[in-house]
Structure 1
């Protein structure tokens, strides 16, 4: 029992450190920083990479076209080889809704060494640069924006002197599996990349949320975006790191009125979303995979197991350490559930969700070694430095 007790105490120690020493990652009060509107609104170009997005485009594209922006702005939707009529649907929506000018174009298939999305982004930025914008808004085709979204992003970047301002869009949470998995996805992301550390000048932590990234055009050129990250599967984090390496000042926080409209109704939909990039996050390193599995087990699985074991065998120390660790885990998850307007009773189930993420991570590695890793919308990407397999 000594080993069990010490394992439970180790888990509790980790949770005490996470509570106080990991940038208060569990707090969800970080919104767009204080801002004032500029006297002269800078020109902005919105770049939207889209591949087979006909199902979500009617709920997202009109919100971009309807932006209430006082300066010059236009939208470039880059059709990345869609087979469902995404490009033509975008033109139809622009004709029906009006608003900001829309250009729809396609770059063709990406060459070796490029992911499809970043090849589309490259093409969109090249088109946008002919308009000489001060800012680029990189946003995904499944993201719906409130009418003042662009306005507030530019005001925040202008006021704070940020080269990159990103908002973590509020993901859809409607199905049972979305309720169980989605808030935890954002919680785990914030734990890995504490938002308060990201904004620290000269700090090492860098991340962005790819669904909503406002980027200074001159900073993008200086950081060689997107060429510098052309092979990245987790492109938003790679982009933020490139900007920070180039001396850029970045900010990331939670959104209030920027929402993803993409549904993930079944577990397999969410599984695919996580597993496609989990092993890439670990740099395809088996040792990092092993460390991650052991870490997830220690942090999330040991507390409830220790509590039950301690109660069964009558070990007060084991039960107390496990119970306190589980209590801290639950308490730190509650703010994220409130942000997603979910019931509090889901908080104690975080170990169940963490176990699912553990299995998704292992499956990501298995699929990688089977040659099916990082698969998305008909394309499978090899690790950087190898030949890109287009399917």
Structure 2
């Protein structure tokens, strides 16, 4: 038994250390601001399309940061499903301060995710007035050069699709808040492993208009439950690379994060892959085992050592594993700029691993996704079979 434990412990700690090195590289690249475009006229006209819904307290600040971008010829469009959506009042208030802001009402989605429907309505409203489309979530704060960083690879002709990501800044030391931030940190580092692991993230994504048409993104989204993972599956099959822009990093503050909200978010992340990119979902199952089994085996080994039921080898591996995990999490804590005690990071990791295993197990037999009050019955490739509000 201790040999299996040792193998899994080495795999996990090695992976965490490797991802920490990826995080260091992303941090260096994030600070770089070399765009390679000397004149303002070199930048393509861009539409900033932002689907919005509800009354998230972070939305006003996030939208303001997106509307104050240092980018020439930027066409900002915020899209809601209806004229009565709670977000509309905020949008109208912002239009008084940002006259360039356009509000589009998409109507209720039929046969696809509401976010997809909203994004497509934004594209239709912009038409050919923009050479690139930038899609962003409405609740993440952006730096003033965020759009430039995201558009630059497309403008330089390096890629047809580029993506950023986000970072969660925990504003308290509650286990769920910190575990949520750690999960997002892990997903960001996985994006940076290499081009085969980089896929578009719908919260910060840029597509040239030509690529949008050539790859039939409109047709893909019009029948799919989600925007980014549906593209990931298609682009991967076609051998189309997505350029990761480490500097196009949005930030989200989290405090008193609720367990049910975190679990529902993790459900969607895993289910989107299951339906849209099943090969990655199966690989995610391997990652789940590597992350969840060593902490469980360590606890059982230490308890067994106290009761005389575990071998000396298992107890020794448990202590060595905890030392390795503490070293890896200490590195991650430094990369996140956190001042929380190391034991809180270890607790957050254990909680994340347990939630990961629980959520993945729930997805094994899942046939649909609940998202923003809409139940989507989903088939192969993420195509929507039925919807229920």
Normalised-by-shorter TM-score class: 0.7 to 0.9
Residues 249-260 of structure 1: matches in 2 within 5 Å? 249-252=241-244, 254=246, 258-260=250-252
- Residues 236 and 263 of structure 1: CA distance in aligned 2, closer, same or farther (over 3 Å): farther
| 2:296 aligns with one of 295, 301, 311 | 301
Residues 252 and 312 of structure 1, relative CA distance in 2, 3 Å threshold: farther
1:5 aligns to 2:2 (yes or no): yes
Q: Distance in 1 between matches of 2:207 and 2:331?
A: 29
Could you give the per-residue CA deviations for residues 251-295 of structure 1, whole angstroms, max 9, x where no partner exists? 23555762235766322221222224434433498x959867655
Tell me which residue corresponds to 2:37: 37
Question: Whose helix proportion is higher, 1 or 2?
Answer: 2
* 1:19 to partner: Cα distance: 5.1
1:112-138 CA-partner distances (Å, limit 9, x unpaired) = 2x111111111112222231x222110
Distance 2:120 2:292 in 1: 40
Residue from 139, 142, 145 that aligns with 2:139: 142
Structure 1 gaps of 5+ residues are 199-203
CA spacing shift, 1:334–1:223, aligned 2, 3 Å: farther
Tell me if the contact between 1:59 and 1:144 (Cα under 8 Å) persists in the aligned partners: yes
Once residues 360 and 206 of structure 1 are traced to their aligned partners in structure 2, the CA distance between those partners, rounded to angstroms, is 23
Moved more, 83-92 or 36-45: 83-92
* Residue equivalent to 2:122: 124
Q: Aligned equivalents of 1:265 and 1:325: distance in 2?
A: 29
Aligned to 2:377, the other structure's residue is in SS state coil
Inter-CA distance 356–64: structure 2 relative to 1 (3 Å threshold): same
Map 1:145-294 onto structure 2 (within 5 A).
145-159=142-156, 161-175=158-172, 176-190=174-188, 193-198=190-195, 204-230=196-222, 232-233=224-225, 235-252=227-244, 254=246, 258-260=250-252, 265-283=257-275, 294=289
Show CA shifts across 1:349-370 (max 9, x none).
212321123223344567x46x
Normalising by structure 1, what TM-score? Answer: 0.81
1:56 is aligned, of 50, 55, 58, to 58
Shift in Å at residue 83 of structure 1? 4.7
Which sits farther off after the overlay, 135-144 or 215-224? Answer: 215-224
RMSD, aligned α-carbons? 3.3
1:170, 1:258 within 8 Å by CA — same for their partners in 2? yes
Cα deviation per residue 1:79-126 (whole Å; 9 max; x = unaligned)? 12375432342122121x226x111112211122x1111111111122
Q: Tell me which residue corresponds to 2:326.
A: 330
- Please give the per-residue CA displacement for 1:219-258, whole angstroms capped at 9, x wherever unaligned: 2222222432445555323324434544543223555762
Q: How much does 1:144 deviate? A: 1.9
Secondary structure of 1:207's aligned partner: coil
- How many residues align? The count is 372
